[in-house]
Amino acid sequence: MLNNDDNRTFAHELGHSGGLGHTMNVENLMTQKKVIQDFDGDYLKATQLNRSQIQTVRDNYIHNKLNRHIPNWRQKLKRRQ
């Protein structure tokens, strides 16, 4: 049986298969766990997707592009002072 941590990880990885990369928003599903923790966010509450992300997955589904392009996007972070 999956626990809450596993459920979020599963959903996050499913987002990658839909063509989504990582984000820098501590409330977004596609933000990495370490980033959320570094910015004092609650990993299990980071479940949001924005309209653009939903549209990307939808478009990839319509055009049969799921699991074809999984982005590896990275951005340098600034820690809170």
What does the pLDDT average to over 37-45? 94
Q: What is the largest CA-CA distance in the chain?
A: 44
pLDDT in tens, 15-25: 999 999 999 99
Question: What is the reported pTM?
Answer: 0.78
Q: What percentage of the chain reaches a pLDDT higher than 70?
A: 78
Average pLDDT along the chain: 85
What was the pLDDT predicted at 53?
A: 97
Alpha-carbon span 38 to 73, nearest angstrom: 18
**Residue 42 exposure: Cα atoms within 13 Å on the Cβ side:** 5
Alpha-carbon span 48 to 33, nearest angstrom: 14
Alpha-carbon span 30 to 32, nearest angstrom: 6
